[in-house]
Structure 1
């Protein structure tokens, strides 16, 4: 037994060790909980979004830069053209030949890209416009004049970018307007025809409006080209990222997942074949090392389990042999006890019969029984009859116990059986001064049972309860029936207020020939017969007792009447 306990402890150690190693491996469920289900796809998506964002930002900045460069070029060109117009009309203006100057400006306005040319004097009056519909005076707060008059002192020298403005015309087209001051040069202020005071620095402004339609088309082309370039770049780099992540991340992780699934299915002979460097390769190597260690431990555990099973089987066979010997010894001891009990119970009345027979033999004379001793002989004969009846009752009880027939089950009302039984023994209870209380369930279902055997159970339990109350001034016995909650069993309870049964006797009260009654008051087979009948009906019987308070017998009978296998205790005498 010590060796068996040692192997059991060793087996438990290996089981705990195996469970620990298994918990160290990422099973399929744990892997799904710890790692996103599609890590490679998420990485590809994340990198693609970053690439798209960088491409969009880069393309936007590139387009804005090129657009800014184009506008600067246009502004410089517009400034040069404005200066050219001023120079072209200088001689005509100096000669005060306005028609010639206006004709030059009309000719220049016919060039592609110029929308309008206007000249304002110092007061803001439009002196000339290639658009004949435009005339009048422009306020200094207007966008045309605000370039120079944005400060209390009008500005004279202004950079070209500050003299330009971009706006949208009435037709929704963008246009660039360049304001060029016409300075009062000495040649003009000293001329005899239209001399201006020398302190006047600016005589007026030249406002040239350029159409940006071509520039907008160029910018749109640049935008489309940038979008196409960004898209192609994103697609190419995205494809590269996809294949790179699939090769370096997705496939190794898929192999790891397949390995964990094989491990969870205890397929320990399937290694994880990953040829990769870095963390994934190290993880695969560690996984394979733990798989080998676990396989070794499981093999050791299987060998130990097989050895343990063999030893347990050997011990079981030995225990079976020992159990058979103990059972045989117990049967022989039971038979010896039974024989001694029967011999003791029968010997006493037979000895009495023998003694009474010898007395009668001595009384009898050759001519018969003396007349004066007839009554004495008659009394002796009655005692012989009583003792032989006692022997017959003992033998009858023994036969009833050893040859109890199988119950003939039929549907019966347990309450009706109780009423019928009480009507038979009621006079004995009244003679004994015992008060009987019946608490029967009116809704008790019928059960399948042998009515005569159940009646025998009730008689024995009620009469035993009645006899247990003899030492009480007023004995009381109660009989109660009920059905259990699930409706499969009925309960019979017989309770008394007698002296109770000592604890040391509770375990033996159902043993054959065990009794606490006086000589000649019982042979101890009543409760053994009750136990056998209840068990043959598939029921159960329990006893609860307290010294000085009384005893309660609880009988449970199945409604269906299905019987259990009888135990060796009540299987009869062999």
Structure 2
């Protein structure tokens, strides 16, 4: 059904095109014929009229001959009789710049009066011609000058009918119509046959192949038959189907690869989840170890303070007991003094035992500062703190105890985060200590100022440190965060670690502008 509709549409289109072409041809032929015949008629009539005017001009030798109606009227009647196409003749005389009708023969409508321009052209021996086509009988009007004694004295006007030529034009138009109709019929039948053979059959085969491909048989190819354009269309269709088959094959291959990658990715994700869980466990363990180390360092600091604060009184008490025992005392008093002396010695032993059990090993070793900074920074759990690490590469190792250094850095980072309310920017910087910080407040002085050192900066954007608190920062149990649970032992531990390593500890701060703690630690040498 679709093929029949397509064929009918093509046939109707061809017929309409043939009819339009024939109509255009008829109009063109009609116009050309009319113009050619009218031009020929005009030349023919003008030539005839010039001969008639020549005969009249030879009969007039003087101006008075124009008024000789007995002679001129029969002459005009003979001319009109010999030339049946002439409908009327009129002889006119020129006087005082005007044209006056002298003799008139035949019939016809009133002639247009000659204008001054027309008279000037006639006096200049020019022939005037005009066409009257308003009525049923179309006429050519010619006006020829008449000379007497070598001077133009008047003019002869004649009206020629072109009905004979109109009949000739009509007859030719009828023949042209018949030929055009025959041409349309023959052309349409020929085009119909050619369309049927050259277009309809190849297109029908191509459409049949397309319908089968649409139903799923993509392995089919369109037949290469018909005109060049149909063959090119079929070839393009076959190339498109080949590309489609290749694309579908590639798609299947890609789908298999994607499926394989999905399975592989699922395995990798499962492994990554397991590794992430292990890393979380490791981080938790590291955090617990760091907390234990920090607590141990604080406890060691507290033990050192206790040993200092309690050891001296106990030693004094022990010495006094020795003196009292050497004195002459009753046996009962000596016995009580021995008991007191034993308890004092026991207290001193307990204090020394606690001090030894909480003291961190202070033996220095070659330590990579950047590595320890990275490990300590990874333990800070503060998602709203934006940490910026600017660690100088290829720094020399420093002389420090790694465990103590780790606790030092973790204390400084934790204090900085707490000072910012766990929200803000924390900047960690390592570099060689090549310049002195003259504006900084010194918390620990270096034992050897000329020793090469590596510098660590811990800079926060917190509330800053008041000036009155600068001198008390490293005192045990001094803190500005009593309400937040601060113990006042963190910076005391930091001071002990820096001092034991032979380094420097400095701080710069201003209220509302944050604080920067500067730690300078000596470079490791073989002598150490």
User: Scaled by the length of structure 1, what TM-score is found?
Assistant: 0.37
TM-score by length of 2: 0.39
